[in-house]
Copies of this chain bind each other. A is one copy, B any other.
Amino acid sequence: MMELKERNCVPLSEGTAAMKKEEIERYKKQLLTEWLVIKAEKLKKKFLFENYKRAMAFVQEVALIAEKENHHPDICIYYTTVEIELTTHDAGGLSINDFIIAAKIEDL
């Protein structure tokens, strides 16, 4: 099976349901690092950098992925800490696209 990070986000057909807990757990295992799952609706992870320049370089790389895949995580920058939050609004929770972006981000 193709690794998550190699895959591309897919357009979701209307009415696509959010992932259920079991499915979330299954995909979570395919991520290489620990991501927080919030209310079975969001993937969240905090990234720490040695300085602001590196933090901002990371943010720019994340933005490039987001734009290419047309799936945009929330990004919060607190000096050298960057928080990434992923969800799929159209599904009202998590979709495969969130895990694909998460995998690509941790591969940076």
A residues at B contact (CB < 8 Å): 52-53, 56, 59-60, 63, 66-67, 72, 74-79
Q: Is B63 a contact of A52 with CB atoms below 8 Å? A: yes
Specify the chain B residue showing the minimal Cβ separation from A81: B74
Q: Of the candidates B63, B76, B78, B79, which one forms a contact with A56 in the assembled complex, judged by CB atoms under 8 Å apart?
A: B63
Q: Is B77 a contact of A75 with CB atoms below 8 Å? A: yes
Specify the chain B residue showing the minimal Cβ separation from A73: B77
Distance, CA A4 to CA B63, complexed state (A): 31
User: Which of chain B's residues have a CB closer than 8 A to the CB of A60?
Assistant: 56, 60
Q: Closest approach, in angstroms, between the C-beta of A63 and any C-beta of chain B?
A: 5
Distance, CA A75 to CA B56, complexed state (A): 11
Q: Is B74 a contact of A74 with CB atoms below 8 Å? A: no
User: Which of chain B's residues have a CB closer than 8 A to the CB of A52?
Assistant: 63, 66-67, 72
User: Which of chain B's residues have a CB closer than 8 A to the CB of A74?
Assistant: 76-78
